[in-house]
Amino acid sequence: MSGPREGVPLAPLTTLRLGGPARRFVTATTAEELADAVLGAAEPLLLLAGGSNLVIADEGLEGTVVHVASRGVAFEDLPDGRVRVRVQAGEPWDGLVEQLVAEGLSGAEALSGIPGSAGATPIQNVGAYGCEVAELLHAVRVLDRASGVVEELPAAACGLGYRTSRFKGSDRFVILEAAYELARDASSAPIRYAELAAALGVEPGACAPAAEVRRAVIELRARKGMVLKAEDHDTWSAGSFFTNPIVPENVAERIRTGLPPEHPALPAWPAPGGVKLSAAWLIEAAGTQRGDAEGGIAVSTRHALALTNRGSGTTAELLRLAHRMADRVDAAFGVELVPEPVFAGVSWTS
């Protein structure tokens, strides 16, 4: 573990390239170092790994930032023919998915191209193209900051839901390691997402070679500006800034019946507790256009859900633009948009 440093710039460690410096900054390269760093940290504490789902205040952060740089992947064959994969928290997620596909393991291929670290995936219950981490997760090894004890929590104890878990919004547990279970199969899991199925030339519910699914997902994400490229400001984002709202069926029906006949239909899918709507559709239907800007921050030219840093943006500008987008959706449809990223040193509601 590196000794603490002061005034370390945090913007270069995030995919948005926003935020001020850390008052105290420590790098942990193993699970043991991570636990020690957390237990010895001055409050407030921020864990920073891939920086892909994070909005940091322009003024920077007081307290301690622990850079999670632990690495390691271990494979264990199970009696049922599946494979358990134990991964250190700081392992880059997309590199892991690439390795899993190369090893002939299927189940994670639809989650290709997502930036960030393996340890962060259970926190957000990361999902894309019809797959969620909840379907793969076996357990997590965590540090309980309240007791100082390291323990293993099964997936069923993690409170995994749509883009959430018992870890999100709480600083009690620190994920040191995640364990996933996958099938040993060169074919993918069934393709559930219509757009992905069309790109692969298969029917929804069919399978395809996992390597082909990975390539197709990365191509789809790249078209939407969701594959990070240093030279392309349209990819300098935190990914989807808002979650797709889940509303009662009567709210979805009210929106549908209020649309003029020539308007594109409202995308909606059955979901626990109601109907899931497309946040991107709501944003554009409420009047926000791709490319709309607030200073150095702009809506992506490729995807209405991504707010991008054009190179000179600030967190304050990002929040102003995001609130303007959400306010328009609320005014037009009576639907509240909830931001997906973690906010550090700044609040969405203030």
Tell me if residue 240 is catalytic: yes
Between CA 108 and CA 96 the distance in angstroms is 9
C-alpha separations of 326 from 59, 62, 264, 286, 287 in Å: 24, 29, 20, 9, 11
Between CA 26 and CA 14 the distance in angstroms is 16
Tell me if residue 340 is catalytic: yes
Tell me if residue 166 is catalytic: no
192's CB contacts (< 8 A; 6+ apart) are 129, 130, 131, 204, 205
198's CB contacts (< 8 A; 6+ apart) are none
Between CA 60 and CA 18 the distance in angstroms is 10
Q: Say whether 117 sits in a helix, a strand or coil.
A: strand
Catalytic residue among 163, 214, 221, 328: 163
Between CA 141 and CA 143 the distance in angstroms is 7
Catalytic residue among 109, 132, 181, 340: 340
Catalytic residue among 240, 300, 317, 328: 240
Structure tokens at 103: 């090893």
- Active site residues per annotation: 163, 240, 340
